[in-house]
Structure 1
Amino acid sequence: MLRRALLAALILLVCGTALPLASAQELPIDLDVDYASFLYDANETLLELYLSVGAASLEYVHDGEKYVASVPLTMTLRPVAASAPEGASTTPVFDEETTLQFAVTDTSALDDGLYFVEQFRTVTAPGEYSLDLVVPTDAALERPELRLSLDVTVPMYAPSDQAMVSGVTLSSGIQQAEEVEARFYKNGLVITPNPKGMYGEGQGRVFYYVEAYGLPAAVEAEQYTLLTYISESNLPRPIEAFQRRTTRVVRAPDVIVGAFDVSELPSGSYFLRFAFLNDNNEALAEQGKKFFVFNPGIERETVAMDEGFETSLYAVMSEEEVEDNLQHARVLATQQELSQLGRLRDIDAKREYLAAFWQRRDTDSDPSVNSARREFYERLRYAEERYATPFEPSWETGRG
């Protein structure tokens, strides 16, 4: 089955940003997985799976002029039973065992910032899937079993009169390519995936690849506007100096490639966002991808506040941002505050509610900083980095 489904498996050793925490190192193997989906045909979608394996987390055997590490791996992609129509099959799309092999010439130079990257491509019907990866126990290496699971959503990108956006491939580097057989080749490019989504120290640029479909049917003009920007994970508005608005020719599909320099961003979790706009500045389609930055030498700026800061902060927020902040406030709200929140209908009333909510909790003597709000969002940022899932915010998970 894998021979039919697996179009490519590619391996590369790349240099990236070492994780600041030991969470990945506590696993038997430093293994991360990510994915993106793209248009294939009218019935199926192309799914790309990205794996990274920490080079320093492996055991190597001397083999001539090189050192070799082997990792047996079982990959299973199956429809999610809860979302499948009654009577639909939950038989795996593929369920295969393989052995990943990695070779280096010198193990003494391996550190936490080096990792191997693999890419697998398959075509499958749209739907909700669960991807399970299992590295079995190795008694000889005293390595316990490792299991990872990832929820995978595969959209239908079939031709329609609606603009749609593919998944986003986060990359550690994108280059022009002439050879179709080149590693990670796609549409004339070599796109080296970054499954960890970690940037900053050692990997200061976030490269990205994304495709847009259905624009000719959705846009009457010959051009459209693409807004690309970075936002903090808890605030969807663009960060100053990290947004671009470009005019592009309508194509089918349109391939978007670019990069942002994040070497001066403070450590934290962020979103890379795309908005495809028509002549009226209305969003035809939107897409986003979460990534992380580790820059230990960059301090996060403290925003100075005047007396009306909370009011002005929420006054400039979009309705979507206000609703997100109301969901955050529910975590701390009293029963009386929840009851009041349930009666709010007007957007201005919601803004005033949020301003008063945080002002009541700012009990210190420093008028320049709302310490309660700042502490809450620092904790939320910490939880987002560790516990958020593609379908569940961190504060709604058991650990967040």
Structure 2
Amino acid sequence: MILDVARFRNEDLSVKGSVVEIYATVPGQALIYKRRGPKLFQAAATLTLEVLKSDGTAVYQETITLKPPVLSDTTISLKNPVSFQKRIALPDGAYTLRGHVRDQYRGGRVTVVDVPLVLEAESKGLIVSDIVVLARPASKSLEQSNFIRGNFSLTRAPGGLYARGADQLFFYAELYNAAPDQALQLRYRIRPADGVKDLLTTAASATGMAGRSTPVVGNVDISKLPAGDYFLTVEVRDAKNKLLSAQKTLLRRNPAEYAPAGAALSR
């Protein structure tokens, strides 16, 4: 199981804390498929998500059943993953996000994944939210759902993996506390996770929006990036090139692997 987490400012400024987006992906290859009819096979997994305080108390818990698409043949090698996305509001503090996955057709097999989660009071200066790496470009949308942020429909890249055929890195973030119409310079940097030198850099710009966060929708050509783990850093600078804020996230590049498909808004 892959657990991805992104922290954003609560749009209700009277509420202290953050909005946390949880994205859980269960690889289809790991599940047992059972016959459901002639040439009909399907798997099922029970997913339990919890957010625990330091004393072990759960402040959020939910259990759902995930079912990937029906297959006509269990020998099909590319079994689709199943994903679930949840958006919750939490006060500042230190938590643990815990995911339990049980294969309904493989008795006793339970996978548990823990992810530390720290929510801190934001500063009054300009800051960048967590970065969400995407499997496809962010697209404008007026709908309301867990897949929409800043009027953009977002399809996450599970685990930050860019695999076979994924030669463009797409991402989304939000800027907070930018002055209305403030001119901002953006710089995107990619360097090896264990390195000190950027392999790719590109520039963009943004303008502060009045009364709301400023969305950052970016993309970088990674077609010539070798396989490996990298950090994507988004820097925000003012008109005098002074660094105002920066945020980074981990991404993986593996052109030899098939990536799990990201769940998206149903059409």
Please state which band the TM-score falls in when normalised by the shorter chain: 0.7 to 0.9
Superposition deviation, residue 74 in structure 1? 2.0
Q: Within 5 A, what are the aligned runs for 1:329-348?
A: none
> How far apart, in 1, do the equivalents of 2:238 and 2:138 lie?
30
Q: 2:216 aligns with which of 233, 256, 264?
A: 256
For residues 123-168 of structure 1, the C-alpha deviation after alignment (integer angstroms, 9 at most, x for no partner) is 1112221011122475x524522111111122334xx631111111
Q: Where does residue 243 of structure 1 map in the other structure?
A: 201
Q: Is residue 76 of structure 1 aligned with residue 50 of structure 2?
A: yes
Q: Within 5 A, what are the aligned runs for 1:259-338?
A: 259-295=219-255
> When the two structures are superposed, what TM-score results if normalisation uses the length of structure 2?
0.82
Q: Where does residue 149 of structure 2 map in the other structure?
A: 186
For residues 149-190 of structure 1, the C-alpha deviation after alignment (integer angstroms, 9 at most, x for no partner) is 111122334xx6311111111111134244515772333322
Q: Where does residue 355 of structure 1 map in the other structure?
A: none
Q: Is residue 97 of structure 1 aligned with residue 60 of structure 2?
A: no
Aligned residues: 251
Superposition deviation, residue 101 in structure 1? 2.4
Q: Where does residue 35 of structure 1 map in the other structure?
A: 5
Superposition deviation, residue 58 in structure 1? 1.5
Q: Within 5 A, what are the aligned runs for 1:153-172?
A: 153-157=118-122, 161-172=124-135
SS of residue matched to 2:121 = coil
Q: Is this contact kept in 1: 2:234–2:247, CA < 8 A?
A: yes
Q: Is residue 47 of structure 1 aligned with residue 16 of structure 2?
A: no
Q: 1:197 aligns with which of 160, 164, 174?
A: 160
Q: Where does residue 320 of structure 1 map in the other structure?
A: none
SS of residue matched to 1:78 = strand
Higher relative contact order (CA 8 A, sep 6+): 2
Q: Is this contact kept in 1: 2:51–2:97, CA < 8 A?
A: yes
Task: Choose between structure 1 and 2: higher strand proportion.
Answer: 2
For residues 79-119 of structure 1, the C-alpha deviation after alignment (integer angstroms, 9 at most, x for no partner) is 234xxxxxxxx521112332222223445574358423321
Superposition deviation, residue 275 in structure 1? 0.8
Superposition deviation, residue 232 in structure 1? 1.3
> How far apart, in 1, do the equivalents of 2:173 and 2:33 lie?
36
Distance change (3 Å), C-alpha of 1:247 and 1:144? closer
> When the two structures are superposed, what TM-score results if normalisation uses the length of structure 1?
0.57
SS of residue matched to 1:196 = helix
Superposition deviation, residue 248 in structure 1? 2.2
Q: Is this contact kept in 1: 2:166–2:255, CA < 8 A?
A: no
Q: 2:91 aligns with which of 125, 132, 141?
A: 125
Q: Is this contact kept in 1: 2:169–2:220, CA < 8 A?
A: yes
Q: Is this contact kept in 2: 1:117–1:193, CA < 8 A?
A: no
Q: Where does residue 56 of structure 1 map in the other structure?
A: 29
- Structure 1 regions of 5+ residues with no counterpart? 1-30, 82-89, 298-400
Q: Which amino acid in the other structure matches residue 156 of structure 1? A: A
For residues 267-322 of structure 1, the C-alpha deviation after alignment (integer angstroms, 9 at most, x for no partner) is 1110110111123322111100011111359xxxxxxxxxxxxxxxxxxxxxxxxx
Q: Where does residue 185 of structure 2 map in the other structure?
A: 225
SS of residue matched to 1:257 = strand
Q: Is this contact kept in 1: 2:67–2:82, CA < 8 A?
A: no
Superposition deviation, residue 231 in structure 1? 1.2
Q: Where does residue 382 of structure 1 map in the other structure?
A: none
> How far apart, in 2, do the equivalents of 1:107 and 1:153 lie?
44
> RMSD value over aligned CA atoms?
2.7
> How far apart, in 2, do the equivalents of 1:108 and 1:34 lie?
28
Q: Is this contact kept in 1: 2:138–2:172, CA < 8 A?
A: no
Q: Is this contact kept in 2: 1:68–1:103, CA < 8 A?
A: yes
> How far apart, in 1, do the equivalents of 2:253 and 2:25 lie?
17
Q: Which amino acid in the other structure matches residue 143 of structure 2? A: V
Provide the identity percentage.
21
Task: Choose between structure 1 and 2: higher helix proportion.
Answer: 1
Q: Where does residue 135 of structure 1 map in the other structure?
A: 101
